[in-house]
Structure 1
Amino acid sequence: MFLSAILVALLATMGQWWFFGPVTKCLVYPLTTGTLVGLFMGDPMTGMLAGANIQLIYLGWISAGGTMPSNTIVAGIFGTVMTILSGTDPTMAVTFAIPFSMFGLLLNQVYMTVNAAWIHQADKMLDKGNLRGVRFMNFVPSFCMAFLLYGIPAFLLVVSGSGWAQGLIDSVPESVISALQVVGGIMPALGIAMLLNYLGKKKLIPWFFGGFFLTVYSGLGLTAISIFSAIVAIILYLNGNKEEIKAGVKKVRRLSLNKNVETVELSNSTEGTTKELPEYTRKLSKKTLVKTWLWTTSTESCYNYERLQALGAANLMLTPIRELYDTNEKRVEELKKYMVFYNSEVFTVGPIINGIACSMEEARANGENVSAEDINAVRTGLMGPVAGIGDTIMQGILFPILFGIGCSMALDKSFLGPILSFVVFEALIFGCGYFMFMTGYKQGKSSLLKILKNGTIDRIINSFSIVGLMVVGSMAATRVTINTPLAFSIGEGSTAIQNVLDSLAPGLIPLGITLLVWWMLRKKVNTVWIIVAIFLVGILGYYTGILGYVG
């Protein structure tokens, strides 16, 4: 148990300390951490099932702009540990995870607040000409804080053993356990409704119902629904391209430095648009560019409330600045301009900004008329729009689709679920991030205009949203696992209400609850109150005989 406690403590630490984003980003997700906790504690099946159940309620949680609506790191790891220690059914993992998640919000606030101190220390080290100090302050103090706040509590929880946890569960009446299972059956409706709220443009909402009813009537699994919806989305995307080509006019959405977007008309010709890199005497090598891109993955290792990703941004630019400038004094001078507030998406689309910064830094080192203010103006002007695109694609679309499918496979007791989600997610992050970084470097500011040309990004997001909505609809049909045991006696016979509802349309209760939660979200009801309402409805519904758990 001691070794298990150490491994879980390191897992909890790395879940918060994002020293290598493409990998550690997956440690935010309970499906991944639950499986790893189970592996470390000798019960990978229970860990995977617990993680999948916890994951379902957090599919719609979007963390952007330094905010964390719920601490899924603590929810996944601590909730799974408690499930394994207590020996209870994995469906109970949700009831453990939610209180831990609320506690985790406090831990995150402390972590983000204290980390602000390290960037001031980095400022002092840079003033003294200590470039290595910037990198040291980006990684070491934040690791210590993550270990203190997350690692040690996780270690103590595991090393305490299963006796007290099992005793706690044994002391709870069986009827309460059954009532909490009903709560667990309702809870995925929250995550699904949050995704529906995020993806649900009015003209796309029918795809949600399409996924729902295709599942309840055909019995198709989530993977089949995903393939079918992807084919539909591709067809619609290609047809949209053909229509715009026929129009003969291209519209380019041009980003200005003050974040405004203006539209201009261009001819349909693309001749003469190729941009060649100038021949410089000081030029960044391919090795340096690859290293710089890899450093972008640690941009959030010292995330803090004061300047958010500033220290990480300075850390990644340290590599190209060292190659472009010969003296330590000049390197310090150039690096200081990156020690300012910065925050954007950093894994998929966001690296394009770092690539542009490298391109401008290279031009500046070769005597071009590029000032420090110009570089920061471009970075500041792009970070908002790029974050909007990147967070939408990664957190709002890629993650829910991949991990929704992964949860479905995991709940069918297939380890392929968490493995496939992890592998595909990592491939997309690495592939997209590298491509966008190199595109930004090679084409400079014009690269983002090409991405926005003709509203292509909007069509891509809409296409992905169709897939996401059909997947979400299918999940509402299969993962909101409640029904009604109510029955009315008429003479010597009885009529089950559930049978009557199924004759109208299968899955009406899960659909109704999901839509109700979605309505509450649209009315800006705080998610904490929605969680409380779900607990009350589940418990009261069980004891009054209105609701039952389908398990």
Structure 2
Amino acid sequence: MGTGIAIWQVIILTIYSMYQIMDELTLQTSLSQPIWAGIIAGLVMGDLKTGLVIGGSLQLTVLGVGTFGGASKIDANSGTVMATAFAIGTGMNGQVAVAALGVPVASLMIQTDIVARFANTFFQHRIDKMIEEENYKGIERNYLYGYLPWTLSRGIPVFLALAFGGPFVRTAVDYMNTNLAWLSNGLATAGALLPAVGFAILLRYLPVKKHWPYLILGFVITALLSTLYGNVSLLGTTIAGIDSKFTTAFAGLPMLGIALIGFALAAMQYGRTVKEQQVAAAKPAASATDSNEQDGEIHGDEL
């Protein structure tokens, strides 16, 4: 296609963009998360690292974003797919792609999400009519027909953008890297700050006041281990510069270790929460309701 994105890549990414909304609404296997969108798009485009960086950035950006009732939220998955594809296909900086493509596209997809919701009501009304007629086969068919507006709401925009938007994006990238270097640098800075915004939104809705010891503990453990591993790596690099026979390589901070520490703390808190709920369930319903209103935390049985 002359844009760095082959037609087979466009087709695979379009199919994935259609699947991810189905997964989010039904199966919920986590393949509809931005990090997975970055992994899949990165593998398809041949640069997994860039896909992980963009997917991880947008995953952190939408950590605290959710929907209630019929509300629509930004489609960070489609934004990740397009940002990753164009970043790899046109050589755009990953952080610039997040700020210039990922977030705007994710926001624009709100409109297609609304269109899909409105179109889906057509099949919902048909199902209502068939329930009265006890037409069970028709109910099943129209339930499956409801996938059409949802999948097309993602597939059509992604396909058109990837198939025909390449030349425009390449021209814009070249122009930004030369005549608008200041804007490119600003967008890169903004893209790097977006994960912090996601964390801020998440902390706004988490019961931080109740579980602040865990927040402090997690921060301190991460900071200590980061400092320790950073200094050890620096020491190894210094020794290697002095003695050519020193070839030992020091690994960086293992994020799996941090994740396991966090998992252990979460498991401990989960066990305490389960016990609290069991005790509350044994009390009169009115007493349990008063307790939930006082601590302000949403428990699993209230969702």
Native 8 Å contact 2:23 2:32 kept in 1: no
Which residue matches 2:234? none
Q: Counterparts in 2 of 1:470-509, with a 5 A limit?
A: none
- SS of the residue corresponding to residue 225 of structure 1 reads helix
CA contact (8 A) 2:9 2:45 kept: yes
Is 1:71 the counterpart of 2:75? The answer is yes
Q: Find the counterpart in structure 2 of residue 131 from structure 1.
A: 136
The aligned counterpart of 1:160 is: 164
Pairing 1:389–2:300 present: yes
1:169 aligns with 2:173: yes
RMSD: 3.1
Deviation by residue 1:412-455 (Cα, 9 ceiling, x = unmatched) = xxxxxxxxxxxxxxxxxxxxxxxxxxxxxxxxxxxxxxxxxxxx
3-state SS of 1:127 partner: helix
Out of 8, 30, 35, the residue aligned to residue 3 of structure 1 is 8
Higher relative contact order (CA 8 A, sep 6+): 1
Indicate the residue corresponding to 2:259 in structure 1: 226
Secondary structure at 2:66 match in 1:
coil
Picking from 108, 113, 131, the partner of 2:113 is: 108
Distance 1:116 1:254 in 2: 43
Q: Is the 8 A contact 1:30 1:72 kept in 2?
A: yes
- TM-score for both structures, normalised by structure 1: 0.42
Q: Do the aligned partners of residues 179 and 135 (structure 1) sit closer, same or farther apart at CA in structure 2, a change above 3 Å counting?
A: same
8 Å Cα contact 1:253/1:262 also seen in 2: no
Change in CA separation of 1:113 and 1:224 when aligned onto 2, cut-off 3 Å: same
Per-residue deviation, 1:82: 2.9
Q: CA–CA distance in 2 between the matches of 1:82 and 1:41?
A: 9
Aligned residue for 1:66, secondary structure, equals coil
Give the equivalent residue in structure 1 for 2:286. 262
Identity %: 24
Q: Secondary structure at the match of 2:286?
A: strand
Residue 262 of structure 1 aligns to which amino acid in structure 2? A
Find the aligned partners of 1:115 and 1:5 in 2 and give their Cα distance. 26
Query: Which amino acid is 1:152 matched to?
Result: I
CA distance in 1: counterparts of 2:8 and 2:198, whole angstroms: 34
Distance 1:231 1:130, change over 3 A: closer
Match of 1:408 in 2: none
In the alignment, the residues of structure 1 paired with residue 283 and residue 56 of structure 2 have an alpha-carbon distance, to the nearest angstrom, of 42
CA shift for structure 1 position 134: 0.8
Kindly provide the amino acid, as one letter, of the partner of residue 104 in structure 2: P
1:215 is matched with which residue? 222
Structure 1 residue 131, shift from structure 2 partner: 0.8
* TM-score after normalising by structure 2: 0.73
Amino acid in the other structure paired with 1:215: T
Decide whether aligned partners of structure 1 residues 214 and 70 sit closer, same or farther in structure 2, where only a CA change above 3 A counts.
Answer: same
Matched with 1:512 is: none
Gaps (5+ residues) in structure 2?
1-5, 227-252, 289-297
Runs of 4+ in 1 over 6 A off after TM superposition: 236-242
Aligned to 1:395: none
1:252 aligns with 2:163: no
* Alpha-carbon shift at residue 137 of structure 1 (Å): 0.8
Do the aligned partners of residues 43 and 159 (structure 1) sit closer, same or farther apart at CA in structure 2, a change above 3 Å counting?
Answer: farther
2:218 aligned counterpart, secondary structure: helix
Partner of 2:41: 37
Where is the helix percentage greater, Structure 1 or Structure 2?
A: 2
Which has a greater percent of strand? 1
Kept after mapping to 1: 8 A contact 2:23/2:31: no
Residue by residue over 1:143-186, the C-alpha shift from the partner in whole angstroms, topping out at 9 and shown as x without a partner, is: 32134322122112222264432221110122322222211221
Task: For residue 18 of structure 1, report the CA deviation from its aligned partner.
Answer: 4.1
**CA distance, structure 1, for counterparts of residue 43 and residue 21 of structure 2:** 20
SS in 1 for 2:102: helix
Q: How far apart are the structure 1 equivalents of 2:53 and 2:287?
A: 50
CA distance in 2, matches of 1:237, 1:152: 42
Query: Alignment partner of 1:26: what SS?
Result: coil
1:258-337 matches, within 5 Å, as 261-263=285-287
Cα displacement (A) at 1:214: 2.5
Q: Does structure 2 conserve the Cα–Cα contact (< 8 Å) formed by 1:54 and 1:93?
A: no
Distance 1:391 1:76 in 2: 32
Structure 1 distance, partners of 2:75, 2:84, is 14
CA apart distance, 1:65: 2.6
